[in-house]
Amino acid sequence: MATLLRSSRSIRPSIATGSRNASNVFLQLPSTYRAFHPSPKPQFLDAAMTATHTLFEGLHSATGLPWAATIPLAALTIRTLFVLPISIYSRRSNQKQAQLSPLIAAWQHNLQKETMQKVGHLGPQAAQSEMLKKLRAKRKEIYGRWDCSQWKGFLPIVQLPIWLVAIETIRKMCGTRTGLLGMIAERFSSDAGEKIPDIVGGVSFGIEESFAAEGALWFQDLLVPDPQLILPFALSGVIFLNLGGRGANQSRWQKRLTTSLKIVALAIGPLTLQIPSGMLLYWISSTSFAYIQARILDKVMPVKPPVVPCKPRRYLPNGQVMNAENSDPKR
């Protein structure tokens, strides 16, 4: 037993010595050893905001207009240079899709007959599912052949990050420490000190002090919220108008989405009461120009409603063609 105790005592120092030697080995690494560490994330947002700030400052200096007029002018410039070309490209794709609707309707009739012959014995649900699968594949093939793929209809979504960069730039120039979502969330926070942190902290510009003296009408100070509470509810009305001006040829899910967005538009006013007037002015201007551009495109590049296929003729037992007048069997 004594021998075992002596051996254990002799092992412990050796283990400690080995661990110290191992640590010394790692500390004495050669100079060519590379220590890998996570690289900093690219500052794309900072660069985009800096470029947007340069645009704002350039328009303000070149025109000599006050900020109350420069901000709407900047909104028009951004929408014309970046958003309008995307909208035109997407509108052309929608026009081609509308022109191809008769061809797709003809293929639907043929695919329905072909599917019923092959899998009609499996039941109507299986036949309908198979027919829709073939129709989606054929529609994708036709749209791809005519360079009007369905994904091009979603290109206007690109304007969302463009708008976010611009509104974040205005927010920085107004000197607010929290983002747009943070300012809205403060209205529902029980602790006024708990704020959503600013995710953009590396930009090279800060508060624009001239905002305080270059307002207009009742909002002379663009750094503070609208004292008359007119701008928040004007924003709500403009967004609601923009949603209400959409065409009536919408699918069921599009109508539901539009209704949901209208409800959100009505809530925008109360949610933005504490947002600086400069941010609201840009938001109202951008939304108003979006509405005007959409109406102009509707006039210049209208998307015609799809052609409804003709219904096959149905004959009565006496050989007459069934129509609206004699479709009632009681007559």
Kindly list the averaged pLDDT for each block of 10 residues, start to end, along the chain of length 331: 45 46 45 45 74 92 92 94 90 88 83 77 77 86 85 83 89 77 53 44 72 88 90 92 69 80 88 90 93 90 75 64 51 44
Residues 74 and 57 in one domain: yes
> What is the model's pLDDT at position 256?
84
Using the 8-state DSSP alphabet, how is residue 318 labeled? Answer: T
Residues 112 and 238 in one domain: no
> How would you label 48-85 residue by residue, b for 16+ Cβ within 10 Å and e otherwise?
bbbebbebbeebbeeeeebbbbbbbebbbebbeeebbe
Residues 296 and 185 in one domain: yes
Residues 252 and 160 in one domain: yes
| Identity of the amino acid at 273 | L
> What is the model's pLDDT at position 207?
84
Length of the chain: 331
Residues 211 and 119 in one domain: no
* 251 within a domain of the structure (yes/no): yes
Q: Per the structure, how many domains does the chain have? A: 2
Question: Could you give the CA distance from residue 290 to residue 297 in angstroms, rounded to a whole number?
Answer: 11
* 216 within a domain of the structure (yes/no): yes
212: containing domain: 49-100+146-189+204-300
Residues 231 and 121 in one domain: no
What's the longest Cα–Cα distance across the chain? 120
> What is the model's pLDDT at position 244?
77
* 325 within a domain of the structure (yes/no): no
Question: Could you give the CA distance from residue 167 to residue 117 in angstroms, rounded to a whole number?
Answer: 58
* 14 within a domain of the structure (yes/no): no
* 317 within a domain of the structure (yes/no): no
> What is the model's pLDDT at position 128?
80
Q: How far is CA 84 from the centre of its chain?
A: 16
* 247 within a domain of the structure (yes/no): yes
Residues 68 and 106 in one domain: no
* 1 within a domain of the structure (yes/no): no
> What is the model's pLDDT at position 287?
93
Residues 234 and 277 in one domain: yes
Structure-token pair, residue 211 = 């905002």
The answer, as to whether pTM is greater than 0.85, is no
Residues 117 and 88 in one domain: no
* E-assigned strand segments in 88-239: none
Residues 244 and 169 in one domain: yes
Question: Could you give the CA distance from residue 70 to residue 58 in angstroms, rounded to a whole number?
Answer: 10
> What is the model's pLDDT at position 233?
92
Through-space distance between the first and last CA atoms of the chain, rounded to whole angstroms = 117
> What is the model's pLDDT at position 286?
93
- Beta-carbon contacts of residue 127 (< 8 Å; ≥ 6 apart): 115, 116, 119, 120
Residues 127 and 248 in one domain: no
* 114 within a domain of the structure (yes/no): yes
To which residue do tokens 């927010």 refer? 171
219: three-class secondary structure by DSSP: strand
Residues 258 and 211 in one domain: yes
> What is the model's pLDDT at position 80?
92
Beta bridge partners of 216: 219
